[in-house]
Structure 1
């Protein structure tokens, strides 16, 4: 399922959400430039992007050695579809969450969800043999935004492209249905992929951890100000 837009206007311009999208996009363009370069070492030629990812991506086995990667990995991505998909979901759902939290608290919430997602994926990777596989992407933090959205706006309508047999069709779905189905897919893939954690792929448990963090943390960030639609 692909969200096109939510029918849930926000009252303010989502300046922080746009800033995050711009920063991630700039970081990706920098990565893309590095992918065309090589570094000469004693061992031979090494792709510059690989070196960069090893330094700023989150490697679970080295998280204590490089704790800054818990933050930096959220702004890096592994490909065009990866960056476009994450930023599109953030664009569709992030504005309303920022509208409720305000800009500064939205940033703190976004980073908190991303950190929670990273810690969950790190634990899973260490337990199932993926400790040396670098992790990059905003997916965990974006999943936290989805968790907050379903908590705050369960009845908001989402216009989405939905597969029906062999065709894609436009449908309006309640946020609770759209995001609930999305989360169910993450859970299924998360459990199915456990034996494959050591070879990399999608960090399903970052999605799961980020979503749950967002769902349960949003009330803490709102304090007494709760809005449910």
Structure 2
């Protein structure tokens, strides 16, 4: 189920969402300049990605932030930015620009440490915005559960269908947990537990925002 767009237009221009997408793209363009030299590219990933096993001898403080702006390839950057474009604008609407930025960064950090809990000795650098974007999706799940996600579905032939957001995102979250349980335990490949952790963080923050709406 590949999402094409949601059915709720944003009320304000999502300037922070655009800014985050722009920074990610610019960093990836820099990475492209390193593609000709595999050694330099790997050094870039290990310098700015978060390597869990390094926590035991030199805690990588900078990489807590930088890892979420580094991507491993075209499909990685395009997929992440597309999901952020679809779900980020409405969540920014609900939170406001500054709070959305803080939420995005803290969601990425929470997702990172959720990944580390399950892969504390991994020697592989964790890179990508998917943990932070998963937090955005978790908040969307709570705040815009009534929305519908227009998606491209492949079943013999491709077709387009509207899926309730609450169903789409719940299935997505369930798949992350199942993949986390059964995927490679070395910590290489897709960081499914970061996705799950980010989503949980987004749900918790989204619930807090909903409660405030009802109180006032």
TM over 0.5: yes
Are 2:119 and 2:187, in contact at CA under 8 Å, matched by a contact in 1?
no
How far is the alpha carbon of 1:221 from its aligned partner? 5.7
Question: What is the correspondence of 1:169-184 to structure 2 with a 5 Å cutoff?
Answer: 169-184=159-174
String of CA shifts for 1:181-209, please: whole Å, max 9, x gaps: 1111111111111xx23161100000000
**What's the C-alpha RMSD, in Å, of the aligned pairs?**
1.7
Larger radius of gyration: 1
1:203 and 2:191 equivalent? yes
Residue 61 of structure 2 aligns to a residue whose secondary structure is coil
| 1:101 equivalent in structure 2 | 95
Residue 190 of structure 2 aligns to a residue whose secondary structure is coil
Are 2:143 and 2:210, in contact at CA under 8 Å, matched by a contact in 1?
no
Between Structure 1 and Structure 2, the one with more helix by share is 2
Separation (CA, whole Å) in 1 of partners of 2:116 and 2:213:
33
Are 2:51 and 2:126, in contact at CA under 8 Å, matched by a contact in 1?
yes
String of CA shifts for 1:13-39, please: whole Å, max 9, x gaps: 00000000000000111111112136x
Are 1:25 and 1:83, in contact at CA under 8 Å, matched by a contact in 2?
yes
Which ranges in structure 1 are unaligned for 5 or more consecutive residues?
39-46
Question: What is the correspondence of 1:30-41 to structure 2 with a 5 Å cutoff?
Answer: 30-37=30-37
1:163 aligned residue (154, 169, 183): 154
Are 1:109 and 1:221, in contact at CA under 8 Å, matched by a contact in 2?
no
The number of residues matched between the two structures is 213
Question: What is the correspondence of 1:15-94 to structure 2 with a 5 Å cutoff?
Answer: 15-37=15-37, 47-63=39-55, 64-94=58-88
How far is the alpha carbon of 1:226 from its aligned partner? 5.7
Separation (CA, whole Å) in 2 of partners of 1:219 and 1:117:
18
Separation (CA, whole Å) in 1 of partners of 2:200 and 2:106:
12
Residue 73 of structure 1 aligns to a residue whose secondary structure is helix
Separation (CA, whole Å) in 1 of partners of 2:214 and 2:66:
31
Separation (CA, whole Å) in 2 of partners of 1:67 and 1:221:
29
2:140 aligned residue (149, 152, 170): 149
TM-score, with structure 2 as normaliser: 0.93
Are 2:140 and 2:206, in contact at CA under 8 Å, matched by a contact in 1?
no
Separation (CA, whole Å) in 2 of partners of 1:100 and 1:25:
25
